[in-house]
Chains A and B, each alone.
Chain A
Amino acid sequence: MNNKGFTVIELLASFALTMVITVFLFEVLIEVKDTFADTSVKTAIQQKSSIISKNIKTLLLDSGGTATCSTSTCTIGGKTLQISGNTVTINGQKFAMPDTVSIKNHNIETSCDSSNTNCYLYFQMTLTSGNLKKDYDYDVTYYY
């Protein structure tokens, strides 16, 4: 009967191989987990921002072409667009950012050509979250 077991070299080689594969698999799993978390947050932001954008667009269409803005607040056709804390308020309706997401900084500004025929409203928020790989810069330029 052959009672020979593994040699030390064989064991070391197999352990090394197993370690390499395990480390690789863990790297992949961690990357997938991070990607999933990042995507989930971005999807939530996109959903929220989609509603915000639609409301801003409607506000601009109804405004008759008048808007004045400071960094945090805009008055559009007598109605207010405001960013405060983690909330965007459009004509009294509040849109809070998704859980774990906070507004790091923001800016709202308008600009028109000399004849006031063409104008745009620039809406920007830098959003941060522990689940995001990096800060999410949400900025849209609305023509009105």
Chain B
Amino acid sequence: MKKDNRGFLLAESLVVSTFVLTVLILLYIQFSNLTTNYKNSYNYNNVESLYDLSSVANYLQANNYNLSTQLTSSKPYVIVYKNGSCNMDAGIIDSFCDNLINKMDAKTIIYTYSDISVIKKYISTKEDNNINQKLRDFIMKVETNVVQNKGRLFAEFDNGTYATIAMDNQIYYVEETPPEVNSILVGGKEIEIAETGDGLYKDTSETDRYFYKGKNPNNYITFNNETWRIVSINQGGSLQIIKNESIGNMAWDSIKTRSWDTPASLNTYLNSEYINEISVNADKIISHNWPAGIAEFNNNDLYAQINSEKSVTFDGKIGLITASEYIRTNNNLNQCGSFSLINNNATTCLQTNWLNDLGNYWWTISNANNSFSPIYVYNGGLAYDYDNVGSSRNVFPSLYLTADITLTGDGTKDNPYKIG
């Protein structure tokens, strides 16, 4: 009989190895979760840390330190203790405070509103070196009812334990309803979130995105020694901007057979020729996955349209705004919140969108219904329409700036934001 020395096939080995690895990874993940939960259960609100923090609360109350008056909408907490000493800026000038809290081996103690949703919202939207990531994690995990007229302390201790307690004295009376966090930091500038009129709005379709809306919001920015406008602030703090003047009339695709990502001639021009004309702060431009999918003409579902636009993307530095971004810069979403609404209320919608005032007949990046009919913005009977890719229309380039910039100025036309 012929001896068969055949070993494992490569495929067999791979299948077995994959199976074994999967089992091991699953086991590891389960165990990892178990360990983390265990550590949290011990490190969060244990007996010692609660009694220690209770002592701090009693001390503050006994000495009538009214910290509530120092809470503001832009900073809804007060540091009680950090880096080995109590906060003199908060009016705690007694050296006994240092001795008391040093004895506890505390690292950071903060005082905030009893309604912890305020501090949660603050730390989830703002970078703040006073509250490190582990303390943030703890605060985000705390769930408690609002205790009327009382403040709350959060503490992090050197041994890695965390605690929180509600204060228990009327001197911490919060006279007003805790204000909502209504501003974001952009390039070191605190920009208020608008609820009416022109301004920066939180987007309702995409998380962590903000759009400048209205007839003439203060979104002017000087870039490359030219006037641009900020379209949106995005997750991570990057800024989408659009040039305030057209760079000329051009075909969307002169060959008439290409979509944006294949790429269309305008895409090629912007990312190979026009980009070289940017000489100031060019290093602040970041690449972006430009949504280049279809935006169905006259649709009535903005959310579906955004998803459709995102179904095709092109990675590049220069692009055009999308049709949905054009809709979202309008501050009258009730009447202008979708293509079909704009078609019904075009005259009204033209009065509540600053993009309509940039110029007439200019391209967006989005195609309507098929690959060769891009949508353009204009100020005629409708606020927008679509045309053949080979038609010549104005071009307003758009790009994304890194979050790592410092802004000066106030964004008005006379004093636009400048990149420091």
Taken together as a complex, chains A and B put the C-alpha atoms of A53 and B46 apart, in Å, by 12
* Interface: A39 (CB within 8 A): yes
Total contacting residues, chain B, CB less than 8 A: 35
Beta-carbon contact of A118 and B51 below 8 Å = no
Surface stretch bound by B, among A4-12, A74-82, A88-96, A98-106: A4-12
- B100–A32 touching, CB < 8 Å: no
Pair A143/B55 contact, Cβ less than 8 Å: yes
Cβ contact within 8 Å between B100 and A141 = yes
Q: Of A17, A46, A57, which one neighbours B46 at CB under 8 angstroms?
A: A46
Which A residues are in CB contact (< 8 Å) with B59?
Answer: 118, 143
Q: Which of B31-39, B130-138, B405-413 forms part of the interface with chain A? A: B31-39
Main secondary structure of the interface of B (DSSP, over half): helix
Chain B 341-380, CB-CB to A under 8 Å as 1, else 0, gives 0000000000000000000000000000000000000000
Contact B5 A24, beta carbon cutoff 8 Å: no
* Contact of B51 with A57 in the complex, beta carbons under 8 Å: yes
Check if B46 sits within 8 Å of A140, measured CB to CB.
no
Does A73 make an interface contact (CB < 8 A)? no
Determine whether the beta carbon of B27 is less than 8 Å from that of A24: yes
Q: Is B96 an interface residue (CB 8 A)?
A: yes
Q: Contact at A10–B8, with CB atoms within 8 Å?
A: yes
Q: Are B62 and A142 in contact (CB under 8 A)?
A: no
Task: Tell me the minimal C-beta distance from B196 to chain A in angstroms.
Answer: 48
A interface residues, tally (CB under 8 Å) = 34
**Which of chain A's residues has its CB closest to B59's CB?**
A143
- Whether B4 contacts A138 by the Cβ 8 Å rule is no
Using a Cβ cutoff of 8 Å, how many contacts connect chains A and B? 77
Are B62 and A49 interface neighbours, CB within 8 A?
Answer: no
Inter-chain contacts of B35 with A (CB < 8 A): 31, 35
A74 to B: closest C-beta gap in Å: 15
Q: Which residues of B contact A7 (CB under 8 A)?
A: 5, 7
The complex places the Cα of A28 from the Cα of B99 at a distance, in Å, of 43
With A and B bound together, what is the CA distance between A4 and B6 in angstroms?
Answer: 10
In the complex, which of the residues A4, A31, A42, A111 contacts B31, with contact meaning CB atoms closer than 8 Å? Answer: A31
Q: Which residues of B have CB within 8 Å of A42?
A: 42
A46/B96 in contact, CB under 8 A: no
In the complex the two chains form, what is the Cα distance from A112 to B103 in whole Å?
13
* Contact indicator B34/A13 (Cβ below 8 Å): no
**How far is it, in angstroms, between the C-alpha of A39 and the C-alpha of B38 when the chains are bound?**
8
Q: Is the CB of A53 within 8 A of B100?
A: no
Query: Nearest Cβ distance between residue A67 and chain B, in whole angstroms?
Result: 14
Using a CB-CB cutoff of 8 Å, which residues 102-129 of chain B contact chain A? Answer: 103-105
Q: Contacts A4-B4, A7-B5, A120-B100; is A139 near B48 (CB within 8 Å)?
A: yes
Q: Is B262 part of the binding interface, using a Cβ–Cβ cutoff of 8 Å?
A: no
How far, in Å, is A96 (CB) from chain B's closest CB?
Answer: 17
* CB neighbours of B63 from chain A (8 A): 118
In the complex, are the beta carbons of A53 and B51 less than 8 A apart? yes
Contact residues of A between 1 and 40, Cβ < 8 Å to B = 2, 4, 7, 9-10, 13, 17, 21, 24-25, 28, 31-32, 35, 39
Smallest CB–CB gap between B105 and chain A, Å?
Answer: 8
- Residue B90 CB within 8 A of the other chain: no
- With a cutoff of 8 Å between Cβ atoms, the chain A residues found around residue B104 in the complex are 141
Question: Hey, which chain B residues are within 8 Å of A141, CB to CB?
Answer: 51-52, 55, 100, 103-104
Assess whether B333 is interfacial by the CB under 8 Å rule: no
Report whether A39 and B42 are in contact in the complex, using a CB–CB cutoff of 8 Å.
yes
Tell me if B159 counts as interface (CB < 8 A to partner A). Answer: yes
Closest 9 CB pairs of A and B: A143-B55, A113-B96, A140-B51, A141-B103, A118-B96, A50-B47, A143-B58, A143-B59, A141-B104
Interface residues of B (CB under 8 A from A): 4-5, 7-8, 16, 20, 23-24, 27, 31, 34-35, 38, 42, 46-48, 51-52, 54-56, 58-59, 62-63, 94-96, 99-100, 103-105, 159
Q: List 16 A-B contacts (CB under 8 A).
A: A7-B7, A10-B7, A17-B16, A24-B27, A42-B42, A113-B94, A113-B96, A118-B59, A118-B63, A120-B99, A120-B100, A139-B105, A141-B55, A141-B103, A141-B104, A143-B58
Beyond A4-B4, A10-B8, A112-B96, 15 extra complex contacts between A and B, CB < 8 Å: A31-B31, A35-B35, A42-B42, A46-B46, A50-B47, A111-B103, A118-B63, A120-B55, A137-B159, A139-B48, A140-B48, A141-B104, A142-B55, A143-B54, A143-B100
